[in-house]
Structure 1
Amino acid sequence: MKTTSIRELGRRCGGYVLGLSLAVALPGAAIAQAPGELPNTYAQRNLVSDGSVSADHPDARLINSWGLAFNPFGPAWVADNGTGVSTLYDGDGNAQSLVVTIPVPTGATAPSSPTGVVFNGSEGFVVAQGTNTGPARFIFVTEEGVVAGWSPLAAPANAILTVDNSGSNAIYKGVALANNGTAAYLYATDFHNGKVDVFDSKFAPATLSGSFTDPNLPAGFAPFGIQNINGDLYVSYAQQDEEREDDVHGAGLGYVNVFDANGNLIRRLISAGNLNAPWGMAVAPASFGRFAGRLLVGNFGDGTINAFDVVTGTLDAQLQGTNGQPIVIDGLWALGFGNGLLNQPTNTLFFTAGPAEESQGLYGRLDVATASTTRVPFRPTR
C-alpha cells in the first residue's frame, strides 16, 4: 500500500486532512496554578446555528452539534448528531465546502447520530472503499454503536464504517486516541453497557492490562465523555436513564476519573459537587485569563462550565460572562481551544451545543473579555 506523508495530504486536500483533536494534549496547556487576580470575564459569540438560535451564520445541517476536532492547517470539524454529518467552520463561523456523511449500521436507515470525533495523525487506522485506501484522519463514533473513519484517499465525502457494535446495543457517546508507549489505541465510551471499548490500529477489539473500572463508582453511572489530556484519559460519567440510553440531569450527578492509556485507574478527580451530566473537557492555555492551566468541564445538564485544578480536582469557579453571571449554554457539549489559524486563536474556547433538548444546534466561542468587548447573548428565537 502506498503511504503518503501528512504534509503531502494537507497540500493535496486543501488542508482538510490534518487535524488536532480535542482528545489530544493541547500545545501550551499549562499545568500551573491560575492567576487568581485576573478577572473572571469571558465574552460569548454565537458563530453558527440552525436558525433557531441567534448567531452570525445559519446552517440547517447544524442540529445537536456535538463532537469537535481542530485541524492545525484548517477549520474545525463538528459532528452533527441530528443530521448525521460533519460540518466544518473557520473561527468566524464561515461554513466550508466539505460536508462528510457518517454511516449507519449495515441495513439501518440514515441518518446516523454521530457524537465524538477525534483526529488521527498516524499511518494506522486505515480505511478502504473499493481499491482506495488511506489512514482515517478523522474518526467518528455514533449512538448506533458505529465507529467510522474518514480518509480523503478512500472516500472524500463520507466516513467509512469500520466497527458495527449495534448488535450489542452499544451507544457510543465519546471517543479518544492515546498511545500506551507501545501502540496507539482508540477508546469509545459505551454509555448503554457502562464501559469503555478499546480498539487497536486495525479497528480490532483490544484487551489492555486495565479495564477502565472504578470500584467506588455508584451504580447507574456510565462513561460519557473522554479526553486525552497529557497522555492520560479523563473520563466523565453521567447517570443513566431507565433505558440506559440517555443521561439524567441533576445537580451533583457526575464524576470524572483519570486513567492511564492501559485503562488503569489513576485517581478519582472530581465527585458530584458542581457536576451535572459532564461531557466536554479541556485544559486552558496560559493565556486564558484567570483559568490558565485549569481543567474546564462543561455540563450538558445545566450548560455551565466549571474550572478545576487539573491535579487535585479542587473547584476554582464557574466561567462568567460580561454581565458578571455564570455562562449558561443550553445543551452544552464539546469544549476545545483553537489551532491559531483561520481566526481560531489558541486562547479562544470554542463550544458545541444542542439546545432545546437537542432539537437545535449551536457552534460558538468564548474569548477572554476586554474593555471593548461586546457581549453576544444566547437567545433562542421563536
Structure 2
Amino acid sequence: MLTACGGGYGGGSYMPPSAPPPAVASSYTVTSLVSDAVIAAAHTDANLVNGWGVAFNPKGYVWVADNGTSKSTLYDGNGVPQSLVVSTPDAPTGIVYNGTTDFKLTQGGVTGASPFLFATERGMIAAWAPSVAATTAVATYDGSAAGAVYKGLAIGSFSGVNYLYAADFHNMRVDVFDTNFARVSLPGGFTDPGLPAGYAPFGIQVIGDKVYVAYARRAATGDDEQAGAGLGVLDVYTTGGALVRQLVNGGALNAPWGMAMAPADFGSNANMLLVGNFGDGKINVYDPADGTAKGTLNGADGMPLVIDGLWGIAFGNGLNSQPSNTLFFAAGPKDETHGQYGRIDVK
C-alpha cells in the first residue's frame, strides 16, 4: 500500500537543520604612515600638506597629489618617502596613472609619454612626462578663464578612444578631454535630471567600464563643498556619459569624494563599493549592484573609522609593501592645513 511519496522523516530524534551563522563583520586597523609632522606618523614629509588624490604606478610606488604644496610625492607601503618629488601647477586635486601611449606631452621640441596626469583647483590639466620635464608636471589645458575648478580626475575609454574626465565643481559639470587635451563632448553629457539643486561633481572615478561621479552640495559662496549628514549623491555613468543609475542619494553620504571597489579578500566587505566622506571622515560601504547601504568600515571597537579630512582611497598594487587588499588613503586634516597618508588593513 502506498503510504507516502517524496522524502520524509524516518524516525528517531529529530533536530531541524540549523540556520547558517550570521556573517561576522570584519574590523579594520588604520596605520598613519606619513604626515607633515603635525599628525603622528611613522615618517615625516613636509611636502605632504592636504594630501588629495592617490594613484598607483602598477609597477612601482604610490603617487599622492599634495594640494597644499603643489607637489606630488611617492611612498612605499610602509610610508618611506621616495627621492622623486614632482612639482605641479597650483593646488592639484585628482591624479591618474596613464598606462596608454596617448596623452603625450610636447615641450621644447621634445615629446614624451605622460604616465601621470593631474587636475587642479585652478582649472588646469597637467601631464608629467619624465623625458620632457623630469620633476615637473606641465600644464596642458587651462580652464581658468571659464572659472573651472577641478576637484577630481579619472581616465577611461569610450568606443575605443581614451579620454580624461574632470569634475568641474564651479561650473557643475564633468569636462571631458581627448588625447590632445582638448575639451570634447560625448553623447551622454554626464547629466542626471534627478540631481538635487545645488549639487556639483566633486569626486570622479572610473571603475571597470563605468564612471562613478560623487556629487557634493556647493557652499552658498565660493567653490567649497558643504558638509553635513546626507549631503551627497553618487551616480553611475557609461564612459560615454550616459546615466546608468543614481546609485545613492543622501543617507550616509557627507561630501563624498574617494571611491574604490573592494577586492575579494577584504573581509566581510569584499566586492563592495567603498565611498569615503570628506565631510565626516567615514568610509561607507555599498552594494555596487543596487546601492544598498552596508554600513561603514569599522575598527575593533565596532565604531566607524574616522579619518579627518579624508580624500583619496585606493587599493595597493601588490608591490613594494603595498598589498592589493590594503586600502591606502590621503587626507588633509585640521581643515586641510596639514597632510596624512596611511593604510587600512583587515584586522
TM-score by length of 2: 0.93
Distance 1:270 1:318 in 2: 15
Once the two structures are TM-superposed, the CA of residue 205 in structure 1 deviates from its matched residue by: 1.1
Instruction: Establish whether residue 347 from structure 1 lines up as the match of residue 325 from structure 2.
Output: yes
**Residues 78-227 of structure 1 aligned to structure 2 (within 5 Å):** 78-103=64-89, 112-227=90-205
Instruction: Establish whether residue 44 from structure 1 lines up as the match of residue 30 from structure 2.
Output: yes
Distance 2:73 2:301 in 1: 31
Render the CA deviation track for 1:204-244: whole Å, top value 9, x for unaligned: 11111011111111110000001101110000000001234
Equivalent residue number for residue 52 of structure 2: 66
Aligned residues: 327
Once the two structures are TM-superposed, the CA of residue 53 in structure 1 deviates from its matched residue by: 0.3
Distance 2:246 2:218 in 1: 19
AA paired with 1:140? F
Instruction: Establish whether residue 358 from structure 1 lines up as the match of residue 344 from structure 2.
Output: no
Moved more, 174-183 or 246-255: 174-183
Structure 1 segments of 4 or more deviating over 3 A? Answer: none
Q: 1:36/1:99 Cα in 2 relative to 1: closer, same or farther (>3 Å)?
A: farther
Once the two structures are TM-superposed, the CA of residue 130 in structure 1 deviates from its matched residue by: 0.8
Q: 1:129/1:36 Cα in 2 relative to 1: closer, same or farther (>3 Å)?
A: farther
Distance 1:78 1:45 in 2: 17
Equivalent residue number for residue 3 of structure 2: none
C-alpha contact 1:350 1:365 (8 A) present in aligned 2: yes
Equivalent residue number for residue 291 of structure 2: 313
Distance 1:163 1:315 in 2: 38
Tell me, which stretches of 5 or more residues in structure 1 are unaligned? 1-34, 104-111, 370-382
Render the CA deviation track for 1:131-168: whole Å, top value 9, x for unaligned: 22112110000000000000111111001110001111
Equivalent residue number for residue 27 of structure 1: none
TM-score by length of 1: 0.84
C-alpha contact 1:36 1:290 (8 A) present in aligned 2: no
Equivalent residue number for residue 18 of structure 2: none
SS at 1:274's partner residue?
A: coil
Once the two structures are TM-superposed, the CA of residue 72 in structure 1 deviates from its matched residue by: 1.6
Higher relative contact order (CA 8 A, sep 6+): 1
Instruction: Establish whether residue 287 from structure 1 lines up as the match of residue 273 from structure 2.
Output: no
Aligned-residue sequence identity (percent) comes to 54
Once the two structures are TM-superposed, the CA of residue 73 in structure 1 deviates from its matched residue by: 1.4
Report the structure number with the largest CA radius of gyration: 2
AA paired with 1:61? N
Equivalent residue number for residue 29 of structure 1: none
AA paired with 1:203? F
Render the CA deviation track for 1:114-138: whole Å, top value 9, x for unaligned: 0000011111111122122112110
Distance 1:343 1:139 in 2: 24
Distance 1:166 1:70 in 2: 28
Task: Select the residue among 210, 216, 230 that pairs with 1:252.
Answer: 230
C-alpha contact 1:191 1:244 (8 A) present in aligned 2: no
C-alpha contact 1:38 1:289 (8 A) present in aligned 2: no
C-alpha contact 1:76 1:90 (8 A) present in aligned 2: yes
Once the two structures are TM-superposed, the CA of residue 40 in structure 1 deviates from its matched residue by: 2.3
Tell me, which stretches of 5 or more residues in structure 2 are unaligned? 1-20
Equivalent residue number for residue 376 of structure 1: none
Distance 1:274 1:99 in 2: 36
Once the two structures are TM-superposed, the CA of residue 346 in structure 1 deviates from its matched residue by: 0.2
Once the two structures are TM-superposed, the CA of residue 181 in structure 1 deviates from its matched residue by: 2.2
Once the two structures are TM-superposed, the CA of residue 313 in structure 1 deviates from its matched residue by: 0.2
AA paired with 1:355? P
C-alpha contact 1:70 1:339 (8 A) present in aligned 2: yes
